Structure 1
Amino acid sequence: MTRMLHIGLNLHGAGGHSASWRRPGTNPSAFFDIEHYVRAAKVAETGLLNAVFLADTPAIPSDITRQPPLNGLEPTLVLATIARETKHIGLIATASTTYNDPYNLARRFQSLDVISGGRAGWNAVTTSSPATVANFGGRQLGREERYSRAEDFVETVRALWLSWGEGTIIADQKSGVYANPAQFRLLDEKKNPFALRGPLTHPGSRQGHPIIVQAGGSDPGLRLAARSADVVFSAAGDLATAQREAGRLRSLSQHLGRRLAPLILPGLVTFIGGTEQEAQRRKQDVDELLDLERALTALARSIEVPIEKLSLDRPIPEELLPDPHHVAFSVGHHRTIETLARQGRTVREIIGSVQAFGHRLLVGTPEQIASSIGEWFRAGAVDGFNIIPDVLEDGTPAFVDHVVPILQRRGLFRTEYRGETLREHFGIPAAEPAEQHATV
């Protein structure tokens, strides 16, 4: 079959620009408005998008006096609601491996998968936010420790998802025999790092179990993605970086013996206008709503540079940029900032270009947006994109109504859903039990 783009939609609160909540006509409390999320998902489904994607941080931001949370509602509950209002679109929720229990998380996502008819996906992330640590009463783990736990956690969840073997349910009403417990694939409590046995409380969906997404940009994150992920939600600010990182991921995946490498879908923040000038004006209007003091503080914190060393209308001195492998925050975000800094952009320009956690930003007409998407796709740097509209309420229809038809005319995107499950949308083979999962 002809290779086709995979496109998702990020349900990013009010939108991908951090000042989107202040735009006239936008609901400033969208982060806990279920109808806001349902409307966007329905529009995405009319555009035949693969999935909606819900980020999550189980804590409020420290600067809530100037900024609403990205998302306030528990993600799987939001997606279960969307599942009842849609038929095809996939449902991907973020949940941390650092501050969750494998059994409860596995059960929650397996239930979402069954409720939605096989449309669920789990974005497995690690957590280092001090606010989140405080909410769970734990200690903050270093990156290596977080990812070591994450690898064990993901494989344990996968094993639990596969804990109902084929033929477990007999359901013979005449004889009164309901199930054959011998068909359960129980975990070995002595070998499993979490001392779990299973099984879950119900079997999986028609797609077997949820797909696994990973979003880390560090070396440990790359290893986790190469070993376990079906899809990688990455951050890449330029084509050369995207190609290099894609090559690293695919090579490592092959080295680990995987037949199919994870699909790569970076985030893409879009500002769309009827003309390039209209799109630029749209961005300028939202940029003017930015709290520059807050944005400057956030930039300094993310790259671990004292704020007094940054000047809005001067570039970031190169010697101030730390090694991306040792930053506490998102490595992908840091790489985007570093790329802009090496291009000589001023701090003010960088602030305007790193909305939505440093994902690539495009400003232009539908034709320009579609052409850039096609360029990266044809270059092999990506398998698609997770679209992050500048303002979700009207940015989503702008993409679906004006960019998607261009991609379809160019033969790059589907003109109909060819299946009913998320695996079918992505072309990911059905989940099958593996021998090692029985003893995880």
Structure 2
Amino acid sequence: MTKPQMILGMHLGNGYGSQTSAWRSLNVDPANYASFDAQVRYAQAAERGKIAFLFLPDFPGLQADVDHEAPQITLDPMMTLAAIARATERIGLVATGSTTFNEPFNIARQFKALDVMSHGRAGWNAVTTSDPNAAANFGQGIAPRPQRYQRAHETIQIAQALWGSWQQDAWIKDQKTGRFAHPDKIQPINMQGEYVASRGPLPIPPSEQGQPVIFSAGGGANGLDLAGRYANGVIGATFTIADARKQRQAYRDAAARAGRNPDEIKFFAGVMPAIGKTKRAALDRRVQLGELTAASRVPYLGSMLNLQLDPDQLDQPLTPAQLAVAAPSPFDPRSPRALEVAREGWTIRDILAHGVIDYHPTPVGDASATADHMQEWFEAGACDGFWVSIDVNEDGIDTFVDEVVPILQDRGIYHHDYDGATLRDHLGAPAQYGLDPRLTDPTP
């Protein structure tokens, strides 16, 4: 009996990498922020590693101290994935699209067009938006959470209905008889919700996977319900195996409550590897990337450890007196790991280089350190796979593909080639066209 196989996604952001100083890294073209060619190159490297999908977060606004940092998003995720679609063959293409500031017809049209263009590789990470700065870009305020999620349910349902409004056998394209399509199989949907509506139909035929796959990245009870009803992939944020298990099970339970098979929803834990020939080399790479930010992060590290830390101590370890009173903050789930690293005797600069303030766990060392972390989590039932966030894309994706992937393959927990051609194939997601008929109560 073959071992279960982990599924991997690759985070693509601003053309540099997940570290805010990646744009200054050696051999990185500082103009890559606006380079679609660079994004295509990174996507091709990920596809060489048989990565199941690319994941492009999005935020409809500016979130960066542009004095020293590059914004962490692409110029436009759909345009980026359109460019990538024409230069790749198998890798899935998942983009974030806000249900708060998009109309369902626009969402349905863009993602299904990408799905057809890519021959069935598109996915939509359907999220609500709660940032007032983003709302201001649309001349709006932020609605209360229940309203935002009600709109999200309506938007997803209408988009899926629009995707199915051109029936799968509607397109005749018979040149001899002159019949292009069955008009009775391309019909309006006439859906009206409390917040959004659409008449339809959407004049786009099905792709090789039928329609795009839904992803989710929201939390809380509302996010669980949304994912449980519609998602086949969940982009997670968790720092321990125990918490990841709990989150994964919560999403599986939500799918079961919606009348779906829990195996249809895959939970992806984040990982931000720091890879070098040795652990010291990996730390030095991160130290260089954190050159401009390390001092400013010292006070926050102190708050994580319930200490008053001074940037003047940056190149010194915590003193015995500090370690004696240090305690992890109950308000930051990264704090226990930060204290564990501090107790190993590293300098504060090296503690920060361990990624203790990063958004996901950071295994540090040679390729086997990352592979060990991923195997431990996967075999513990903490996730179905990972979305991998590389520090510097220019060389880091190739390093992951060339050094980590072969270890996972040798251990029998990662495939040697794609098992199919579509994103649904990669995720083991069932066929779906239009609304899911199992959702007997589609309105929450």
TM, length-normalised to structure 1: 0.86
| Amino acid paired to 2:415 | R
| Paired residue secondary structure (1:105) | helix
Partner of 1:198: 200
- The superposition leaves residues 52-71 of structure 1 with CA deviations (integer Å, 9 ceiling, x where unpaired) of 11121121225222321112
| Amino acid paired to 1:171 | K
- The superposition leaves residues 388-408 of structure 1 with CA deviations (integer Å, 9 ceiling, x where unpaired) of 111111111110000000111
Asked whether 1:270 is paired with 2:273, we answer yes
Task: Write the distance in 1 (CA, Å) between the matches of 2:129 and 2:326.
Answer: 29
Asked whether 1:144 is paired with 2:150, we answer no
Residue correspondence of structure 1 range 70-85 to structure 2 within 5 A? 70-85=72-87
Q: Residue 119 of structure 2 is aligned with which of 105, 113, 117?
A: 117
Asked whether 1:131 is paired with 2:133, we answer yes
Contact 1:61-1:131 at 8 Å conserved across structures: no
Contact 1:6-1:383 at 8 Å conserved across structures: yes
Tell me how far 1:435 sits from its aligned partner.
4.5
Q: Residue 226 of structure 1 is aligned with which of 225, 228, 239?
A: 228
- Unmatched 5+ residue regions in structure 1? 323-334
Partner of 1:213: 215
| Paired residue secondary structure (1:53) | strand
| Paired residue secondary structure (1:165) | coil
Partner of 2:317: none
Partner of 1:33: 35
Tell me how far 1:173 sits from its aligned partner.
2.6
Partner of 2:318: none
Partner of 2:53: 51
- The superposition leaves residues 214-260 of structure 1 with CA deviations (integer Å, 9 ceiling, x where unpaired) of 11133322221122111001011111111111122212221221113
Asked whether 1:409 is paired with 2:404, we answer no
Of all paired residues, the percent bearing the same amino acid is: 37
- The superposition leaves residues 105-146 of structure 1 with CA deviations (integer Å, 9 ceiling, x where unpaired) of 110010001001111111112212233112111112233332
Give the total of aligned pairs: 420
Residue correspondence of structure 1 range 245-394 to structure 2 within 5 A? 245-261=247-263, 262-290=265-293, 292-293=295-296, 295=297, 336-337=333-334, 340=337, 349=351, 353=355, 358-394=359-395
Contact 2:354-2:362 at 8 Å conserved across structures: no
Task: Write the distance in 1 (CA, Å) between the matches of 2:410 and 2:245.
Answer: 26
| Amino acid paired to 1:67 | E
| Amino acid paired to 2:373 | S
Partner of 1:328: none
Tell me how far 1:285 sits from its aligned partner.
2.3
- The superposition leaves residues 237-288 of structure 1 with CA deviations (integer Å, 9 ceiling, x where unpaired) of 1111111111222122212211134101122101111122222222222222
| Amino acid paired to 1:124 | A
Structure showing greater Rg? 2
Tell me how far 1:166 sits from its aligned partner.
2.8
| Amino acid paired to 2:371 | A
| Amino acid paired to 1:430 | A
Contact 1:236-1:242 at 8 Å conserved across structures: yes
Task: Write the distance in 2 (CA, Å) between the matches of 1:275 and 1:239.
Answer: 25
CA RMSD of aligned residues (A): 3.1
| Paired residue secondary structure (2:110) | helix
Partner of 1:329: none
| Paired residue secondary structure (1:423) | helix
Task: Write the distance in 2 (CA, Å) between the matches of 1:146 and 1:319.
Answer: 34
Task: Write the distance in 2 (CA, Å) between the matches of 1:253 and 1:309.
Answer: 45
| Amino acid paired to 1:353 | G
Contact 1:5-1:377 at 8 Å conserved across structures: yes
| Paired residue secondary structure (1:381) | coil
Task: Write the distance in 1 (CA, Å) between the matches of 2:74 and 2:417.
Answer: 33
| Paired residue secondary structure (2:180) | strand
Would the alpha carbon gap of residues 136 and 193 (structure 1) be closer, same or farther in structure 2, given more than 3 Å must change?
A: closer
Tell me how far 1:350 sits from its aligned partner.
6.5
Moved more, 205-214 or 165-174: 165-174
Task: Write the distance in 2 (CA, Å) between the matches of 1:338 and 1:148.
Answer: 35
Contact 2:329-2:335 at 8 Å conserved across structures: no
- The superposition leaves residues 21-79 of structure 1 with CA deviations (integer Å, 9 ceiling, x where unpaired) of 22232233433211111111111111111111112112122522232111242111111
- The superposition leaves residues 339-378 of structure 1 with CA deviations (integer Å, 9 ceiling, x where unpaired) of 557879799857963565x222121211121111011111
Task: Write the distance in 2 (CA, Å) between the matches of 1:57 and 1:70.
Answer: 9
Task: Write the distance in 1 (CA, Å) between the matches of 2:153 and 2:25.
Answer: 41
Task: Write the distance in 2 (CA, Å) between the matches of 1:338 and 1:275.
Answer: 25
| Amino acid paired to 2:18 | G
Partner of 2:244: 242
- Unmatched 5+ residue regions in structure 2? 314-321
Would the alpha carbon gap of residues 248 and 311 (structure 1) be closer, same or farther in structure 2, given more than 3 Å must change?
A: farther
